[in-house]
Amino acid sequence: MSKQDYSSPPPWIAIEDEVPQEWRNNVLSKLPREKGWGEPYLYQYQGFWYQAFLFHNVLGCQKHFQAQNTDLIVASTPKSGTTWLKSLAFSILYRKSYPPSDNQHPLLTKNSHDLVPF
């Protein structure tokens, strides 16, 4: 099994400027919306409110993402302990290879964002 490269987003992840106008007109125009803060509107889909470019990504994930039994999803909002969470996940996954007492533990010399990319 080959190792996947998670150093950049999958091709179906869009940034705000990449959401096609046709998609905005055909899909977003049919959803409930409220005044937003980052974009003019937030759109409701499956009980959650999204900015247009985030909603586009949600649909991409639902359509293309196939979870594997070995997947570990680490999710947090910015400035809420992402570095700590990635360090914890790495430590748990590799505890047999790198016990906490190991003087050569990768977390002693590398940033957790390098060890757990994306």
pLDDT per position as a tens digit, 12-34: 455 555 666 777 677 788 889 99
**pLDDT at residue number 34:** 92
Q: What percent of the chain has pLDDT over 90?
A: 16
What is the rounded CA–CA span in Å between residue 10 and residue 5?
Answer: 9
Q: Would you say 92 and 107 are in contact if contact means Cβ atoms under 8 Å apart?
A: no
Give CA separation, 106 vs 68, 96, 112, in Å. Answer: 26, 13, 9
**What's the start-to-end Cα distance of the chain, in Å?**
20
